[in-house]
Structure 1
Amino acid sequence: MKEIAAYLLAVLGGNPAPSAQDLNHILASVKGKDLTELIAVGREKFATIPSTGAAGAGGGDPAAASPAAVEANKEEKVEEDDDEDMCFSLFD
């Protein structure tokens, strides 16, 4: 089972055809380490990754959003408002 997990990690990491040596390297990197410590280190690494989500989409810094993402978000909101202004219903 751990070999399958290592294979999947390698593929997710960008290696489309991991070798046995690649899998052994992944498994050796975590051998003998405490799971909770590994998770804590992983969380710290994720905390340093900048968020690229649109403002208001959950946890992103609105000031860090790209102008294109902000504009796309505005356009999306306008389209939603247009749909709500229609004065008919399928059941009228």
Structure 2
Amino acid sequence: MKYVSAYMLAQIGGKKAPTHDDIHKILEGGGLEYNEESAKRVVKLLSGKSLADLIADGSKHLVAVSGGGGGAAAAPSAAAPAAAAEAPKDEGKKKKEEAKEESDDDMGFGLFD
């Protein structure tokens, strides 16, 4: 996918027929790994296609892939909500205790005293 995106970015940048070197420069600029074989394959498959053609072809595939919102999550057991309700209370106490300890680190000198 990153090779197709780099190819399309090269076209947006003014290259009518991007090469694998163009893809390499774009991916390298973004700090991404580069595989020359993959880049050459993308150039071979997409050569001669305009950006508009690529977007039109790609949108057909997106419709076929979309699957909606997914299924509902499974209901938790009765013990799980009780355990989950207890955890935040304990964490709140710990955070308050830690805050008190941190305030002692100023050695008696307050910013606004």
**What TM-score range do you get, normalising by the shorter chain?**
0.3 to 0.5
The structure carrying a bigger helix percent of its residues is 2
TM-score by length of 1: 0.41
The TM-score with structure 2 as length reference comes to 0.35
Greater Rg by CA: 2
Q: Which has the higher contact order (CA 8 A, sep 6+)?
A: 2
